[in-house]
Amino acid sequence: MKTLTTTEDLQAFCETAAQHPYVTVDTEFLRERTYYSKLCLIQLAFSGDGENDAVLVDPLADGISLEPLYALFRNESVVKVFHAARQDLEIFWVDANVFPKPLFDTQVAAMVCGFGEQAGYETLVRKIVKQGLDKTSRFTDWSRRPLSEAQKTYALADVTHLRKIYEFLAAELTKSGRAHWVAEELQVLTDPATYDIRPEDAWKRIKTRTNSGKFLAVVRELAAFRETYAQSNNVPRNRVFKDDALVELASTKPRTGGELGGSRLLLREARKGAIAEGILEAVAKGVACPAEKHPKMDRSKEKLQVNPALADLLRVLLKAKTEAEGVAAKLIAPSADLDAIAAGMRDVPALSGWRREVFGADALRLCEGKIGLAAKGQDVRVVEL
């Protein structure tokens, strides 16, 4: 197996790959000690089974530029195939502001083709390629050099088997006419907003039972400071301070270094220096926030007047539709969306796009009393009223 360590070799491979209809892509990265993922290895393969049809690319090699790869990503005549692409795409977007186009995600395609919810790569290799995978190298340190032969073999398998998986799923989608379903699902993966983490919105991820505007104002400022500090210093947000410490600080509202030192949950490193200063400034800013600018938790879904009987009927309809179509139920509508529809909400994903074709249109007709459900043996059928 070949490992590319120079820009020239990467350029040559990408030029060859550009003559093929698709290229499979995977990455190995580390994120335990950084805010942004550290790219450690890239695996590439194009159609065929020759010795040079699949390679490893070492992004840590001295002087190598990934621009030839990014040029291939921009080449819309070549499909870029990933499995569970979100984290890979985030790396390339953060590094070079580029998304691979056109994109194909075999995990999404597998869900559409009836392989269940979030089908793993190992499952697809076993069911489609009819082979097993050696996963012993999965959690190794990919930043260490040299890579072992076991690591290289494991990494390369992530793109070589992906070729047969892609060809099988693409053929199934063509046969079923569902390619546009996958295209709709992938739009969110190539939307920059998906990866835009705004510090001012970080507070919305903090779990708290308190609705007090004063308390939430401090939470917002602390969360914004933590996110900004983590991004600028490229450290995990929990290395700055953890969520439970954030909630404690929002409750105690320390004003001085001495009061800050009394925190039970704050990491020792956060009790001094830039982090301590940032915490005190954030607390002071949150305390001084006027009432009209206090944040409010979105509790709208908690107040929904759900019709339980209708919600149950919608679940039966969804089960019937997904069994008939061979699609994972959660791909169409999670339980919370069914409750929302039963409460009268209409701005839910299940009622638009391809989901409307499969389920949403009949779900609305059921809500309006235009259809009913009848059981015949093991089947549930839609009955016009």
Question: Residue 51: its pLDDT value, please?
Answer: 80
pLDDT in tens, 157-202: 999 999 999 999 999 999 999 999 999 999 999 999 999 999 999 9
pLDDT at 301: 59
| Close Cβ partners of 31 (under 8 Å, ≥ 6 residues apart) | 37, 38, 236
- Helices 243-252 and 213-233: crossing angle in degrees, nearest 10, is 140
Q: Which residues pair with 39 in a beta bridge?
A: 29
Query: CATH topology of 199-293 equal to that of 301-384?
Result: yes
* Distance (Å, whole) CA 308 – CA 303: 14
Our CA dihedral for 27, 28, 33, 34, rounded to 10 degrees, sits at -10
For residue 362, the model assigns a pLDDT of: 97
What is the predicted pLDDT for the residue at 296? 87
pLDDT one digit per residue (tens) for the chain, 385 residues: 799 999 999 999 999 999 999 999 999 999 999 999 999 999 999 998 888 899 999 999 999 999 999 999 999 999 999 999 999 999 999 999 999 999 999 999 999 998 988 789 999 999 999 998 887 788 899 999 999 999 999 999 999 999 999 999 999 999 999 999 999 999 999 999 999 999 999 999 999 988 899 999 999 999 999 999 999 999 999 999 999 999 999 999 999 999 999 999 999 999 999 999 999 999 999 999 999 999 988 766 566 788 999 999 999 999 999 988 988 888 899 999 999 999 999 999 999 999 999 999 999 999 999 999 998 888 899 999 8
The upper half-sphere exposure of residue 146, i.e. CA atoms within 13 Å in the direction of its Cβ, equals 6
CATH for 2-195?
3.30.420.10
- Biggest alpha carbon–alpha carbon distance for the chain: 72
Please name every residue paired with 375 in a beta bridge, in sequence order, or none if there are none. Answer: 380
Q: What is the CATH number of domain 199-293?
A: 1.10.150.80
Domain ranges of the chain: 2-195, 199-293, 301-384
Q: Which of 137, 112, 139, 136 is nearest to 124 (CA)?
A: 112
Write down the pLDDT at residue 235: 97
Q: Regarding the domain delimited by 301-384, which CATH topology (the fold level of the hierarchy) does it fall under?
A: DNA polymerase; domain 1 (1.10.150)
